[in-house]
């Protein structure tokens, strides 16, 4: 393996060896000596994975272990600290990457691009469950990719995230499922003390990267495969189980509840943890000016609609401050505007689906075959 690592694929993991083994089995299919796979394991007893790794003579795989329980943010920070690549991509232990990732990194280096995102094929692991219906393991991806590259207006993405307050905009830069330069990541850590200045690594890093990156792009290609297993956040969301008390989420940093934004309902859900991570990130960066523009009202409206079992709590939270009630009703209106915008902009986005794909390695192979015609990238 070359001493000069271009791409580091970092995989923080905790007690999910079934998925991790599947991911590791796909690494041999990535044909490059300019890539490394950094596994940062926080499972207490790691004897199972150590035995599994003995069968893999791949010097690109770097394994690190810490048995003492730490938060997902700490584990993710350690993963990046133990990596060496000029560019970094953070993936889940149920995901994998394709050889095209190295091609994209070379393009980014040549054109001095700080961060890039791409199309994201999705693979449902065989254990994936959807509330109220059965589903086969399957792979789904956008029908058309072109290799074309377009610039991303990061300021616009930040404004969008603040205005609509419902997750990470699809064009927002990220290190989770996106390539980002180490230089950009190091600037974030120098400013905030963490690569992930918030309790949810995806939103915290995405917002920070958007504020630090000088040049961000979207590449019309498949660089990785996003896996969705039973234990993943998406898996919990599909079963409507991604919800509960903050204190019952041991993977969160210890001070999460203590530092929780007073204008966000003090309960864990996909919506509130993303909102809290956005809030925490902006405070860590000293950008309270942007936080003042955050649409708490849409957050209230979305939470109220999606969590019927918590509506009593939400109403109590709202009436404690009359201004929250006003924001709530304004949020309902804005939410409807967002839905109309989304439907208008996504009308023609068609997906190709492969049913019966049973392993992540099979999904990886199909995805890479689907993009073989792309020889090089070019700006629009």
Q: pLDDT tens for residues 315-374?
A: 999 999 999 999 999 999 988 888 887 777 766 657 899 998 999 999 999 999 999 999
Has residue 234 got a pLDDT over 80?
no
Q: What is the pTM of this model?
A: 0.93
Confidence of residue 111 (pLDDT cuts 50, 70, 90): very high
Question: Lowest-confidence range among 24-33, 126-135, 229-238, 295-304?
Answer: 229-238
**What pLDDT does 232 receive?**
56
* pLDDT tens digits, one per residue of 83-103: 999 999 999 999 999 999 999
Has residue 240 got a pLDDT over 60?
no
Distance of alpha carbon 221 from its chain centroid, rounded? 18
CA-closest candidate to residue 139, choices 360, 353, 372, 358:
353
CA-CA distance, 305 to 75, in Å (whole number)? 33
**What pLDDT does 298 receive?**
94
**What pLDDT does 122 receive?**
95
Share of the chain above pLDDT 90, in %: 82
CA-CA distance, 360 to 230, in Å (whole number)? 14
Say how many Å lie between the first and final Cα of the chain, rounded: 35
Check: CB of residue 276 under 8 Å from CB of residue 256: yes
Has residue 141 got a pLDDT over 60?
yes
Question: Lowest-confidence range among 63-77, 133-147, 237-251?
Answer: 237-251
Mutual angle of helices 201-212 and 72-81, in 10-degree steps: 50
**What pLDDT does 239 receive?**
42
Check: CB of residue 36 under 8 Å from CB of residue 7: yes
**What pLDDT does 132 receive?**
60
Check: CB of residue 169 under 8 Å from CB of residue 160: yes
**What pLDDT does 131 receive?**
65
The helix/strand/coil state of 322 is: helix
**What pLDDT does 165 receive?**
83
* pLDDT tens digits, one per residue of 271-329: 999 999 999 999 999 999 999 999 999 999 999 999 999 999 999 999 999 999 999 99
Q: How many CA atoms lie within 13 A of 236 on its CB side?
A: 10
The 10 Å Cβ neighbour count of residue 46 is: 18
Buried b (16+ CB within 10 A) or exposed e, 151-174: ebebeebbebbbbbbbebbebbbb
The helix/strand/coil state of 210 is: helix
CA-CA distance, 196 to 100, in Å (whole number)? 26
Largest Cα–Cα separation, the chain: 63
Average pLDDT value for residue range 161-181:
93
Has residue 71 got a pLDDT over 70?
yes
């Amino acid at each position: 393996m070359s001493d000069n690592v271009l791409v580091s694929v970092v995989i923080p993991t905790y007690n999910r060896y079934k998925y991790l083994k599947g991911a590791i089995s796909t690494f041999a299919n990535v044909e490059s000596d300019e890539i490394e796979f950094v596994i940062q394991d926080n499972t207490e007893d790691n004897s199972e994975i150590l035995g599994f790794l003995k069968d893999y003579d791949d010097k690109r795989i770097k394994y690190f272990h810490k048995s003492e329980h730490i938060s997902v943010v700490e584990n993710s920070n350690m993963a990046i600290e133990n990596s060496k690549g000029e560019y970094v991509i953070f993936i889940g232990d149920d995901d994998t990457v394709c050889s095209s990732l190295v091609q994209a990194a070379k393009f980014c280096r040549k054109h001095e691009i700080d961060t890039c995102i791409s199309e994201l094929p999705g693979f449902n692991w065989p254990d994936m469950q959807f509330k109220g219906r059965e589903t086969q393991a399957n792979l789904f991806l956008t029908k058309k990719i072109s290799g074309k590259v377009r610039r991303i207006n990061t300021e616009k993405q930040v404004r969008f995230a603040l205005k609509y307050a419902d997750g990470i905009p699809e064009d927002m830069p990220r290190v989770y499922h996106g390539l980002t330069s180490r230089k950009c990541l190091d600037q974030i850590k120098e400013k905030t003390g963490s690569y992930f200045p918030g309790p949810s690594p995806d939103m915290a890093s995405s917002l920070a990267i958007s504020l630090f990156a000088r040049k961000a792009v979207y590449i019309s290609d498949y660089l990785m495969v996003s896996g969705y297993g039973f234990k993943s956040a998406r898996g919990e969301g599909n079963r409507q189980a991604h919800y509960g008390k903050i204190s019952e989420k041991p993977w969160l940093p210890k001070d999460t509840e203590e530092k929780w934004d007073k204008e966000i309902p003090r309960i864990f859900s996909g919506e509130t943890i993303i909102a809290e991570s956005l809030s925490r990130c902006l405070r860590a960066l000293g950008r309270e000016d942007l936080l003042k523009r955050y649409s708490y009202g849409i957050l209230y409206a979305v939470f109220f609609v999606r969590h019927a079992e918590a509506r009593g709590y939400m109403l109590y939270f709202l009436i404690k401050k009359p201004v929250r009630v006003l924001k709530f009703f304004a949020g309902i209106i804005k939410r409807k505007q967002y839905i109309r915008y989304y439907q208008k902009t996504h009308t023609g986005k068609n997906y190709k689906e492969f049913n019966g794909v049973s392993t992540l390695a099979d999904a990886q192979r199909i995805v890479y075959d689907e993009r073989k015609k792309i020889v090089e990238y070019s700006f629009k």
